[in-house]
Chains A and B, each alone.
Chain A
């Protein structure tokens, strides 16, 4: 094992708050120069994980190395190599964008040029505006600017684009790509799966405090989860069937029904696969809870892979339509 070469190394990480296990046995490594995304629903343990890596929280168990050091004992030279963009910030902001970035630049041994960072976060025109007078999205850009001002080797981004308009999000992606080209290692948490797909080399899905999958974004989910779905309407009911050779299935349908109504061949998008992963985990977690408690509850959600018709309806309610319109026969 060459743990020294990893930017981040997490082995069997656990974190408990009393009887509640926020994280149970999470393991992953991040290579130097890699952009790694942590995905998962609210409360899954993403922020707990990232805050343990940043040194803000102490772990209950497991091994963690960040840039070769244990974050629980990371000193100032270690912190100087990190850039941290926290999930939220509510500072009173009685300083201007330039004053704040200048103040923070002074803390680092080899900071970036303040003017360059202001341009990079697109706030040239707001450089001399007090932070409290900026919009939410603009304040978030300042957070990002403060995260990169110290020329970090490893950048933590906890839901960085919350509050960004689509234009700002694309500009942010460009910024991240430029950092990546320089060799910056990036750990990103996000709710936007397109963002993870755009930026990250690999992603891990966390649900219920466990890592449910890890790998290049294109290969998340089981092979089964990526099997295309053929969908059509027959006798007034929407049917769907997974098929590794959808062309043949469509041909059979055509032979049987003529031109099938509302025919779709869908290759599951990242969002579909992700939802399937976290729904399975949630269902299992709920099943565990139901089994452990005597209280009568509503029946837990059926795992997505099992009963296609019901889960499809559930997913349809949660998923923007355009993510599933990609059809490839």
Chain B
């Protein structure tokens, strides 16, 4: 360590220098930083980023012998196991990239002093959120791209060609990932310490995947369990994704007898707004006076 030059009281920044432009600029800079850090954490990479791809592979291979899903009695028609699992895995990826990733990440950062340090800097909370949401968005786009590539290349799944389907995909995805990221920030308040973060956040996320039609076909679950799952957003994301990737004929199997895209939008919007309210009300850089 040696010496530093320059004056400490060089210039007093004008209050205008702390406007929205700065918040956005710092937010963009945080996105790059957060995404870089994400891909350097091998545990996140495995349990969040690659998990849906691994699960898609396992399920597709394991149940290959059971034949196609929705086949005619003579064994023709229907879709492959991989094609049947793809929408659920995309939905699971959206939940993992948002809720699980941010829930654990921010709780850990609160525990290890990262947030305390940031709280002592002139970084706006909003820029920090931008950084996290941008990281979620960037990593989940890559994750879904990887899922689609594996589904197409390894399992010969054919993707929809109708632009309308892709429009549905776009809004379900955007609404789903935004909701998931916001809920991740909200849920990060729950673990009392960084060490307990995974133990507190992973189990409910895992249970949701089982009851929301990711690993088990939703239509086969008992009614009461379907009702419970309908409270949570994952069921609706998965349903929206099924409407994109499964043939129209599968709509009749859905509990409502149709894809219910209007309800998908409403349910996700309610969760998004609830999440925003919770974040606004509860997010603090540190637990004061604990």
The chain A residues found within 8 Å of chain B, CB to CB, are 17, 54-58, 75-77, 79-82, 84, 86, 88-92, 94-95, 99, 103-104, 106-110, 112, 116-117, 119-122, 130, 141, 144, 146, 148, 150-153, 168, 171-172, 174-175, 177-179, 182-185
Contact = CB atoms under 8 A, between A and B. Distances in A.
Given A171-B2, A172-B1, A182-B8, A109 B114 contact: no
B112 A92 contact: yes
Contacts, number: 132
Interface string B112-142: 1110110111111000000000000000000
Nearest to A164: B1
B41 A92 contact: yes
Contacts of A57: 288-289
Contacts of B117: 84, 86, 89, 91, 146
B122 A122 contact: no
A88 B113 contact: yes
Ranked nearest first, the 7 interchain pairs of A and B with the lowest CB-CB distance are A178-B3, A171-B1, A109-B13, A80-B122, A84-B120, A184-B8, A94-B40
Nearest to B38: A94
Nearest to B124: A76
Given A151-B8, A183-B9, A95 B36 contact: yes
Interface in B23-53: 26, 29-30, 33, 36-37, 40-41
Interface residues of B, number: 40
Contacts of B114: 91-92
A329 B36 CA distance: 65
B4 A120 contact: yes
B104 to A, nearest CB: 12
24 contacts: A17-B289, A76-B122, A79-B121, A80-B18, A80-B122, A86-B120, A91-B112, A91-B114, A91-B117, A103-B30, A106-B26, A107-B122, A117-B4, A119-B2, A120-B2, A122-B1, A151-B8, A171-B1, A171-B2, A172-B1, A174-B3, A175-B1, A175-B2, A175-B3
B4 A152 contact: no
A91 B30 CA distance: 16
A258 B17 CA distance: 77
Contacts of A153: 8-9
B37 A82 contact: no
B3 A120 contact: yes
A55 B117 CA distance: 12
Given A77-B122, A109-B11, A153-B8, A103 B2 contact: no
Given A77-B15, A178-B3, A92 B36 contact: no
